[in-house]
Structure 1
């Protein structure tokens, strides 16, 4: 009995004709995981996969996505919600990010319109998301993700996190990249900083993970561009994941009609580059 071929991705980002990232609308994701669009697999130029989706340790981790655990009580992160009185519990509070249309389409760049709806289906946020693949050097490309979230609910909202609800250090929510688990945790480092404890919650100019997929070495370097630089959320020992935190230790107000804009650029490299700072500098010149 032959197996059926995998379905074609809904969209792809290409560089020089080669696929570097596949797009999934998330429409078939279980509602309890807060369905949302995501990129997976994301690949190095040599084809090494550097994302993970639906891992056993956190089923709600979906490759590269924009995920927020608390928008005035609605979870766009998935899974359990941290509550001050009961800890982490499963609530009926999961929202959905729905693809509305492509506003622009090209091989290496796409602009998407999204609707963020609550449990009743009412829109809370409208998002314009830009995804672009940029060539950096022979072994490196960059994923440029810009999100513009507008409050369309007609009321004031705020963005929170488990940390703002009482769980110290768990200020995740916003851009999030889930990398695959390997035999050993990836090395994590930044400018003058080394290790998960030093980088978690920092506003380092950049943050790098250097790991392996089998015998294939890979490096991811994350940087933020624009006037707002959020603290980094980092996990390496438990699982490899990096995010830029919208609500690290205080709720972020979003008044009716208000806009939040963030830009995160991730360098995706084969191997373990010896001079990451120079690589970051070269990438910033492209922005």
Structure 2
């Protein structure tokens, strides 16, 4: 595997030309834009993403290609490694070496629409390696639902199927020995708020209470807004959470942590995350109530 030195072209100006977008609306209000056919540099592992996602009060709660991590694309399904292919973007963690540029970035490409309404989009995708080989196929469903005058829910579900005739291992950098780096799966890059971030979860408060742990829900309070992340199925709730507030604010539901997840030929995995997007502060009690209500 070739290690490349230097930087890749990742300027935001070069990344927006030719994008194709769909909008999610609640009544006459656009609450999210879904770029389903992005025009992105290969170094970012091109994939569909949601940005901007906004509260009902109009506050943007996602970031796209921030200076710190250009490969963070709003809300997406981003996986550090699938059978050696990087679907996260940027550098790849190599045991005994650390992060390095490799010629291994994959692409998630739209295949066909299943539905497209103001409140819901559904489509199939093809996950291919940098050589064009098909590794996975995906069925993705995203919908918006109004909950209250100050909150709505983004329902994001996906099924990944092994499209090859061999086992397909899904790995995080933590699998390769990078402590705490169990990221890969549903991932949300949020903007850094002006005030300190507060993390609450069913297991307790603070990053330590939930990072690398299982919790039915977790909430992120960013001053003027709150996000509540809820595992939408029993299997999803068994996955660990990745939570980072140092350097950047990112939340993910991890497909694999310290052990690879291996898809046998013809097999599939399904995950679903429901995110409450609210103006202002939601109490842990209200977050727990949403976790009781929304997975159904």
TM-score by structure 2 length? Answer: 0.90
Contact 1:9 1:22 in 2 (8 A): no
Contact 1:185 1:239 in 2 (8 A): no
Aligned to 1:147: 158
- Identify the match of residue 34 of structure 1 among 45, 63, 73: 45
Distance 1:277 1:26, change over 3 A: farther
- Aligned pairs for 1:125-274 (under 5 A) are 125-212=136-223, 217-228=224-235, 229-273=238-282
- Identify the match of residue 80 of structure 1 among 91, 104, 107: 91
Shift of 1:97: 0.2
Deviations 1:71-117 (A, max 9, x none): 01000000011111211111110000001121111110111111000
In structure 2, the residue corresponding to 1:238 is in which secondary structure? Answer: coil
Q: Does 1:276 align with 2:284?
A: yes
Shift of 1:7: 8.9
Q: Which moved more, 1:31-40 or 1:98-107?
A: 98-107
In structure 2, the residue corresponding to 1:119 is in which secondary structure? Answer: coil
Aligned to 2:66: 55
In structure 1, the residue corresponding to 2:102 is in which secondary structure? Answer: coil
Contact 1:222 1:264 in 2 (8 A): yes
Distance 1:81 1:158, change over 3 A: same
Task: Measure, in 2, the Cα distance between the counterparts of 1:282 and 1:223.
Answer: 8
Contact 1:136 1:282 in 2 (8 A): no
Contact 1:156 1:254 in 2 (8 A): yes
Q: Give the aligned length.
A: 277
Shift of 1:283: 5.7
In structure 2, the residue corresponding to 1:53 is in which secondary structure? Answer: coil
Shift of 1:284: 4.1
Q: Does 1:98 align with 2:109?
A: yes
RMSD between aligned residues: 1.7
Aligned to 1:46: 57
TM-score by structure 1 length? Answer: 0.92
Task: Measure, in 1, the Cα distance between the counterparts of 2:20 and 2:95.
Answer: 40
Task: Measure, in 1, the Cα distance between the counterparts of 2:37 and 2:253.
Answer: 21
Task: Measure, in 1, the Cα distance between the counterparts of 2:181 and 2:117.
Answer: 37
Residue segments in structure 1 that go unaligned for 5+ positions in a row = 1-5
Shift of 1:209: 0.6
Aligned to 2:135: 124
Deviations 1:32-64 (A, max 9, x none): 110000000000001100000100111100000
